[in-house]
Amino acid sequence: MRSSTIMRLEDFNYGLPEKLIAQRPPSERGASRMLVLDARSGNCEIRRFVDLPDYLGPGDCAVFNNSKVIKARFFGNKEKSGARIEILLLKPVPDSSGLQWECFAKPGKRVKPGTVVTPFAPDGTPSPETPLNCDGRNEDGVFTFSFPDGVCVEDLIARLGHVPLPPYIKRPDESSDSDRYQTVFAKENGSVAAPTAGLHFTQEVMQRIESKGVVKAELTLHVGPGTFLPVAVEDISSHKMHSECYCLPEEEAEKIRNAKKDGGKILAVGTTSVRTLETCADEQVFLRSGSGETRIFLRPPYVPKIPDLLLTNFHLPKSSLLMLVCCFAERDLVLGAYRKAIEEEMMFFSYGDCMLLVR
């Protein structure tokens, strides 16, 4: 039985040596290690990621988030003072034809409504013909910036933007990050952080999974920067989740429904897939198709309705993502597995190793 005791923030804390925070991906995609935790037996072992197909069989369904990371980070100078400003695109403002975006900016105190920032390309070349204009700032500290009329924002992002590596990667982005901080099945532009469980997959592993008779289903959840925000309240039930846009097409929902109806296991690749599936599942465990925004906060003692297995990376202490993982196995088992990963010097976070939870 899952405990119904109110859980506190400190219940999801653990110590991590800084040297185990991966600063770069493994030399080859798919070369990661995989810690496998069986929630029923408590057994915990370390395998290779390429062994993942061993845990799947005919009739099972693997669910992938096909969101694509955009080069959302811009650097530039204030038009008048020349002060350096960093802008992180979050999402387009509705009905703005993609020209107006919600953004983070730092240092925020230097940015006021009317501030004009001249961005420069990754090679340092200024781009004065494409100024970014600050239209305002809301009470949550989110700015609104506008691109000039008539420009192709998608092209500008590709040309002037930087890969938005997370804050715990203490280096500038490099040309190789354009490939490695992107899944091989990414299709739909919109994420400002990678759905990192998918970074391990190669085309070869995908083919091995499909050759076993495993059905592949895709959904989209655009990962926002809120995925890195710490939970700041001691009573975690009071935490307010960030919003992320999702889409589960009917054709893909039908694949998952059929697999579940026929007794197949559902593998969620990443916490983003879990959030989307559980957003779309009703109380009768029927999976609806649909799209919109989700603020779902999955934490113990919640038991996932749709996925039976979760492939995920290791997550930050006291994070909402670690709490989500603890919905697949008892918290003590999960933290024990984390301790084993640390003892074995597995690598953590976005470019690190991964974990498979079986329930």
Q: Tens digits of per-residue pLDDT, 227-238?
A: 777 798 999 999
> What is the bridge-based pairing of β-strands 116-120 and 132-137?
antiparallel
Based on the domain organization, do 191 and 338 belong to the same domain? yes
Look at residue 171 and tell me if it is in a domain: no
CA 180 distance to own-chain centroid: 14
Among 110, 127, 160, which residue terminates a domain?
A: 160
Among 125, 160, 195, which residue terminates a domain?
A: 160
> What is the bridge-based pairing of β-strands 266-269 and 309-313?
parallel
Instruction: Look up the CATH number of the domain holding residue 333.
Output: 3.40.1780.10
Q: Are 306 and 339 in contact (CB under 8 A)?
A: no
Based on the domain organization, do 154 and 277 belong to the same domain? no
pTM over 0.85: yes
Based on the domain organization, do 129 and 44 belong to the same domain? no
Domain limits for position 140? 73-160
Look at residue 165 and tell me if it is in a domain: no
Taking only the tens of pLDDT, the chain with its 359 residues reads: 454 566 899 999 999 999 999 999 999 999 999 999 999 999 999 999 999 999 999 999 999 999 999 999 999 999 989 999 999 999 999 999 999 999 999 999 999 999 999 999 888 888 999 999 999 999 888 999 999 999 999 999 999 999 999 999 999 999 999 999 999 999 999 999 999 999 999 999 999 999 999 999 999 999 998 877 779 899 999 998 989 999 999 999 999 999 999 999 999 999 999 999 999 999 888 999 999 999 999 999 999 999 999 999 999 999 999 999 999 999 999 999 999 999 999 999 999 999 999 99
User: How many domains is the chain built from?
Assistant: 2
State both tokens at 248: 């589960």
Which residues, at least 6 apart from 217, have a Cβ–Cβ distance to it below 8 Å? 61, 62, 63, 64, 252, 253, 255, 256
Strand ranges across the sheet with 354-358: 44-48, 33-38, 354-358, 309-313, 266-269, 61-65, 215-221, 244-248, 290-294
Q: What is the DSSP string of 236-272?
A: GGGPPPPPEEEEE-HHHHHHHHHHHHTT--EEEESHH
Q: In angstroms, rounded to a whole number, what is the distance separating the alpha carbons of residues 279 and 325? A: 16
Question: How much is the pLDDT for 1?
Answer: 41
CA 273 distance to own-chain centroid: 9
Instruction: Look up the CATH number of the domain holding residue 145.
Output: 2.40.10.240
Question: How much is the pLDDT for 38?
Answer: 98
